[in-house]
Amino acid sequence: MGRNGDFDVDRSVDRAMDPFWRRGYTGTSLQDLLDMLSIGSLGFYAAFGSKEQLSLRALERCSALQVEDLVKILEHAAEIRPAVRQVLVAMIEADRADPLRGSGAAGEAGGDGAGPSVAERAVAALCRVESALAGALDRAKSRGDLPPGKDPVELARFLTTFVQGLRVVGRARLGRSFVEDALAVAMRALD
């Protein structure tokens, strides 16, 4: 596969996240991947099976990293509001720094190309985000950090949806004040 057997499959999956994330499944050609990974087609198929299988592994890896970061922040938070704000601001800043990030992958979650497995995995990633938020909000409610009438699952679903909207707004480059106003309203949902 690689010269002298030095081809690292896991590192290659990490590298493949970028073109799939930016251009989507259909916008990323097999030749793009072969060139980027410096691998021949036989080595590629031996390592990954297919372009679809590599895209699914890249999607899983990307989701795992995002959810892992979110969970770390939320699980170690002494107070829910600053933790939720930190998570949301981090996502805003990541999208502002790299507006093309996620534009290809997000648009194909339910489309052609990699098939229903991509949509199922995208939904699973959103469910993990929702679950992490719901758990943190539930812990906050039991500590008295949320009003008794607030439902942690409903709030988690709202915030998960809000995060996806932030991604769209980030790519549209609607400006800092637009995002800050929306963030302020989202944070009031915790009051």
**């992958």: which residue's tokens?**
105
> Which domain does 102 fall in, by range?
55-188
69 versus 185: the higher-pLDDT residue is 185
Flag whether pLDDT at 111 surpasses 50: no
Residue 30 lies in a domain: no
Q: What is the rounded CA–CA span in Å between residue 146 and residue 150?
A: 7
Flag whether pLDDT at 41 surpasses 70: yes
Residue 169 lies in a domain: yes
Residue 8 lies in a domain: no
117 versus 115: the higher-pLDDT residue is 117
Short-list 21, 118, 120, 139, CA closest to 74: 139
The pLDDT of residue 69 is: 81
Residue 154 lies in a domain: yes
The pLDDT of residue 99 is: 55
Number of structural domains found in the chain? 1
The pLDDT of residue 30 is: 93
The pLDDT of residue 14 is: 87
Q: What is the CATH number of the domain that holds 149?
A: 1.10.357
Flag whether pLDDT at 113 surpasses 60: no
